[in-house]
Amino acid sequence: MKKYFDKKETWTKKERRLKQDFHLSQMVQLGYRKSMSLKKIFDAQKIKPTRIKSLGDLEILAVTSREKLVEMEMQKVPYAGLENSSAYIDRIFTSPGPVYEPHLSESDYLWARAFFAAGIGPSDIALNAFSYHLVAAGLTFHNGLRKVGATVIPSGTSSSQIQVQLIKDLKVTAYVGTPSFLMSIINKAKEMGFNFKKDFRLTKACFAAEPLLPALRQTFEKEYGIDTYQMYGATEVGDVAYECSQKNGWHICEETIVEIVDPATGKNVSAGELGEVVVTRLNEIFFLLRFGTGDLSRLIIEKCPCGRTSYRLAGIAGRVGDAVKVRGLFLTPSQLRMISVEFNNLPLQAIVNRQGHEDILKLRLEKIMPEIGSSKWEQNFKNTFREICTVKIDQIEYVNAGIIGPQEKMLVDQRQW
Ligand SMILES: [Zn+2]
C-alpha cells in the first residue's frame, strides 16, 4: 500500500511548493540547454531560464494549446524541437494532427496512482480496453496496471463479444476503458444470455477519455455492482488527475503542475474559480511548458478525507470554446446539463443579456411538476445552481411544459459586443 500512497500525496503545502518549484526550475534550465525550440522561445522574449523559479513565474510564458502544438510540429517534424536532444526515448506515440510524442520512460509511475486509488492491486485481473495502436492510452494504462501488480489482458479495441468472452473465461475483476464501451459490453453480455452481476466477477472500473455522466455512473454502481473511478490526462502531458474512494474531485498527480487560467489572458484565476486547465509535466524528455488542455475546471485545495493532501480538480465543467462568461465567471452547457439531471431532467435554458454595463443571467424553466415555482423549490434550485455554476441567477421565467424544445440551445448569449 505504502508504495503508491507515498509521501508525495501527503506533502504539506510548503513541501509541495518547494519540491515542485525546484523541479520546475531544473526542467526549464535543462530544457533551455537541450531543446532548440525552448531556447528560441526564451531568447525571443529575452527571458533567462533562471527567471523561472516558481509556479507563479510560469505566467510570463504563453499557454500552448493543442492546435498550436500541431502547428509547431508541422513546422518542425517530429517533436516541434521541444524534445531533449540527447535523451534516450523509450516509445513514440501519436495523436491526431499528427503530433508525435516522445514518451516518458516506461519506469514512470504513469496512472499507477490512479489505479492504486481505485483499489486495484495484485489480486486483480484487469481488462484494458484502450487502444494499443499508435496512441498512448493502451500501453500507458497497461504499465500503470502492472506497477500496482495487476494482471493485464490487453484486449484493446476487440469486439464487445470477445471482451465478454474474456471477462467470463479469465474471471476479470477490473475494467479499464471508456464508460460507453463498458455499457456496450454489458449489453452484449445480456444479449448472449448472461447476467452480468451474477455470472461475472467484474466489480471495479476505471474510466478515462469520456465524461462519466452521473446517471450512467449510478447504473454501473447500483445495477451492476461496479465501483467506478474517473481518471484524467492527455497524451501530451500524461496522467493529470484521478479520483479516490471519496469520489469528490480528482487528485492532481504530484508529477504535474496544474494551473487554472483565464483562457483570454493566460493568467491564473482566483482560487475556486472556473478556468482552463493548463498543465506542465515535470520531466526531462519533453519540454512542453503550460499545455492548454481546453478543458474547464476549478481547483479544490482543501485536504481530502482520504488522507491525500494533493490539490483536486472539481471534474471537467466543459470546453473553453463552449463556455460563456457571465460577470467574469464561466458558465458552460455541461454545468447546465448537470443541474437539469439533478432536478429530474428539468428542461431549462440560460440566457445571458446585458443591461447597461451589467450582465444579466435569466433562467427559463419548464413547470413539469406542480411544486416548481414555489418559493421553497426556487430557493433550493438557486442554491444548487450557485454550487455548480458559482454564478448567481438574476431572473427566473417559468414556462409551460414542452415549450423549450430539445433542439434548443441550453446556453444562449444575447449580448451585443
Ligand atoms: Zn481523496
Q: How far is the CA of 306 from the centre of ligand 1 (A)?
A: 4
- Reported as a single tens digit per residue, the pLDDT across 13-48 is 999 999 999 999 999 999 999 999 999 999 999 999
**261, 270 in Cβ contact below 8 A?**
no
pLDDT above 90 covers a percentage of the chain that reads 75
Between 189 and 100, whose confidence is greater? Answer: 189
Asked if the model's pLDDT at residue 400 lies above 90, the reply is yes
Q: How far is the CA of 411 from the centre of ligand 1 (A)?
A: 32
Q: How far is the CA of 250 from the centre of ligand 1 (A)?
A: 8
Q: How far is the CA of 7 from the centre of ligand 1 (A)?
A: 14
Q: How far is the CA of 393 from the centre of ligand 1 (A)?
A: 31
Q: How far is the CA of 346 from the centre of ligand 1 (A)?
A: 31
pLDDT above 70 covers a percentage of the chain that reads 98
Q: Terminus-to-terminus CA distance in the chain, angstroms?
A: 56
- Reported as a single tens digit per residue, the pLDDT across 226-256 is 999 999 999 889 999 999 999 999 999 999 9
Q: How far is the CA of 240 from the centre of ligand 1 (A)?
A: 15
pLDDT interval class at 122 (50, 70, 90):
very high
**284, 344 in Cβ contact below 8 A?**
no
Asked if the model's pLDDT at residue 217 lies above 90, the reply is yes
> Residue 103's pLDDT is what?
83
pLDDT interval class at 358 (50, 70, 90):
confident
Between 98 and 345, whose confidence is greater? Answer: 345
Give this prediction's pTM: 0.86
Q: How far is the CA of 381 from the centre of ligand 1 (A)?
A: 28
Q: How far is the CA of 284 from the centre of ligand 1 (A)?
A: 28
Burial class (CB in 10 A: 0-12, 13-18, 19+), 151: middle
- Reported as a single tens digit per residue, the pLDDT across 259-302 is 999 999 999 999 889 999 999 999 999 999 999 999 999 999 99
Q: How far is the CA of 335 from the centre of ligand 1 (A)?
A: 23
Q: How far is the CA of 190 from the centre of ligand 1 (A)?
A: 34
Three-state SS sequence of 185-241: HHHHHHHCCCCHHHHCCCCEEEECCCCCCHHHHHHHHHHHCCEEEEEEEECCCEEEE
**237, 252 in Cβ contact below 8 A?**
no
Strands 125-128 and 92-95: unpaired
Q: How far is the CA of 244 from the centre of ligand 1 (A)?
A: 5
Q: How far is the CA of 151 from the centre of ligand 1 (A)?
A: 25
> Residue 6's pLDDT is what?
65
> Residue 323's pLDDT is what?
85
pLDDT interval class at 322 (50, 70, 90):
confident
Q: How far is the CA of 117 from the centre of ligand 1 (A)?
A: 8
> Residue 325's pLDDT is what?
85
Asked if the model's pLDDT at residue 115 lies above 90, the reply is yes
Q: How far is the CA of 315 from the centre of ligand 1 (A)?
A: 13
> Residue 1's pLDDT is what?
43
Q: How far is the CA of 345 from the centre of ligand 1 (A)?
A: 29
Q: How far is the CA of 245 from the centre of ligand 1 (A)?
A: 7
Q: How far is the CA of 292 from the centre of ligand 1 (A)?
A: 25
Q: How far is the CA of 196 from the centre of ligand 1 (A)?
A: 29
Residue owning grid cell 454489458: 186
Instruction: For residues 231 and 237, give the distance between their C-alpha atoms in angstroms, rounded to a whole number.
Output: 14
Mean residue pLDDT of the chain comes to: 92
Asked if the model's pLDDT at residue 186 lies above 90, the reply is yes
